[in-house]
Structure formats: C-alpha cells, structure tokens
Amino acid sequence: MYLVDTHSHIYSEEFDADIQEVMQRASEAGVQKICLPNIDVASIERLHRLCDRFPSICFPMMGLHPTEVDADYPRHLALLRAQFAQRKYIAVGEIGIDLYWDTTYQQQQIEAFETQLQWCIDLNLPVSIHARNAFPQVFESLRKVGANKLRGIFHSFGGTREELEETLSFPHFLLGINGVITYKKANFKDYLALAPINRIVLETDAPYLTPVPFRGKRNESAYLKYVVQHLAEVYGVSEETIAEETAKNACQMFEI
Ligand SMILES: [Zn+2]
C-alpha cells in the first residue's frame, strides 16, 4: 500500500525518544511521504532537523498556526516569510482561523491568515488550512484574497453538510481526513461521500487525533491504515483504491 500523510507534526518533542521506530513503523505500514506543517518560530529548527534526516520522506511547510497568533504577529510573520528564501517548502501551513479556544486575537488571526494566503499566490504554493469554529471567516478570507488563485487542503475536515458543500465549491481545494472519522460521534461520515474521492487526502495530525483503537494515546503516521479502513467503508471501495487515489491527490497538490 502507498500512503501519504499530508499533515503531521512528528518533529515535535513527543517523538524525540523513538522517532527512528516511528519512521520504521510508518514505512512498514506503507507510508512513503509525510508532509509537515510548521507551528511558529520556535518549531522551525525541529522541523528542518527531521526533514534533513529523512529527506526523501519528510517534506516541510512554513507558516504561523492561528493559535500562535498574538499582538506581536507581524514580527513573527516576517521571520517566517524570510525562511522561504532559505529552502524549499511544499506549502504554506499550517495557517487559518481558530475561534474554539480563544477569540481574543480574532482580528489578528484574520490578518495573519490573509497575509499568508497572499504568500501562496506570490510563491505559487498550496496552503494547509486550519479552520476551527471559523468556517465563515475562513471562506470570507479565501474569497477576499482570491479563491481562484489559491489551491490547498482544508486540514482535519469534520464539518457539517453545508460546510462540506461550501468547501467543495472551492475548485482547487481538497479535504484532509484523519482519525476523527473513526470516532462514534463523527456524523460527517453520513455525507462525506458527496465529496468525490479525487477531493480527499489522508492525514494524521500526529501526535493528536489518534484513531480508534489507539484513541487517547499518541498518534503516528502508521495509524493511517485505520483512516483508510473507514474511508473504504464510506466510499464502498477497496482500501487499496483509497490509498492509491488519496496518494495521487496528495502528490499532485504538493508536487512531491
Ligand atoms: Zn496540525
């Protein structure tokens, strides 16, 4: 099986003790490529270190995560923007709007998101979008900056039927599906198949959102197989078909 994990934070310290084993298990599970979104200025060095260690498997993105946006965000964005001159990144990410935990910096989150969306256009790169309790705001920013000039992934999709339909109305965007699909309360399984398979990619969001039967433990790329099992059920196709199609979608989007 050929799997691509389009969203994973396995460069974080949760993996310091056993990253070699984590990569080995991923390889044994068929995971051949892992896309790594950045979080903030502090995470850059770890991100680069892992990509340098596994250059044919790990591919970095660069961006400022919405929960890390505060009043000082312009200074941080300048530091991140300078990174693009230093090495190759497959996307701008992880960026977006998160109004679930805290709305203090809502306006700054929107500004930072739109600035980084403009980077995508300037650098001709896709985007990895984090939208939590914020689909209307995210859609508005995409349209404002230029939906037809942007391409990318709505990472960790688990929205309503209406949100699904609206995400699909952005023609160059895919949906990232992770371990949440294995949870009992994942109602989006009922209508996910409205999205054609060519709009779906796999992701873990490791170390978070661990699929059943490992829910509550640390997530890792090898667990993608549980997401594949559920997607095969939803679409009524084989696990091989899900793996092959989603890997193709991911490689086209990120040019990896
Ligand atoms: Zn993430």
From ligand 1's centre to the CA of 59, what distance in Å? 14
- pLDDT tens digit sequence for 148-184: 999 999 999 999 999 999 999 999 999 999 999 999 9
From ligand 1's centre to the CA of 66, what distance in Å? 10
From ligand 1's centre to the CA of 34, what distance in Å? 13
H-only helix segments in 91-223: 106-123, 135-145, 161-168
- Residue 198 has what pLDDT? 98
How would residue 1 be classed by pLDDT, with cut points 50, 70 and 90? Answer: confident
From ligand 1's centre to the CA of 236, what distance in Å? 28
CA–CA separation, 165 and 158 (whole Å): 12
From ligand 1's centre to the CA of 204, what distance in Å? 9
- pLDDT tens digit sequence for 119-135: 999 999 999 999 999 99
Domains of the chain: 3-254 (3.20.20.140)
- Residue 117 has what pLDDT? 98
Cα 12–chain centre separation: 15
CA dihedral 31, 91, 183, 192 (to 10 degrees): -100
Q: Find the mean pLDDT for residues 42-68.
A: 98
Does pTM surpass 0.75?
yes
From ligand 1's centre to the CA of 37, what distance in Å? 6
Phi-psi region for residue 200, left (φ > 0), alpha (ψ -120 to 50) or beta? beta
**Half-sphere exposure (CA, 13 Å, Cβ side) for 235?**
22
Dihedrals phi, psi of 228, to nearest 5 degrees: -60, -45
From ligand 1's centre to the CA of 1, what distance in Å? 24
Higher pLDDT, residue 39 or 1: 39
- Residue 101 has what pLDDT? 85
Q: Find the mean pLDDT for residues 113-119.
A: 98
Q: Check: CB of residue 204 under 8 Å from CB of residue 178.
A: yes
How would residue 213 be classed by pLDDT, with cut points 50, 70 and 90? Answer: very high
From ligand 1's centre to the CA of 175, what distance in Å? 14
- Residue 58 has what pLDDT? 98
How would residue 219 be classed by pLDDT, with cut points 50, 70 and 90? Answer: very high
- Residue 186 has what pLDDT? 95
- Residue 184 has what pLDDT? 94
Question: In this structure, what DSSP letter does residue 100 have?
Answer: S
CA–CA separation, 44 and 107 (whole Å): 25
Element at 52 (helix H, strand E): helix 44-53
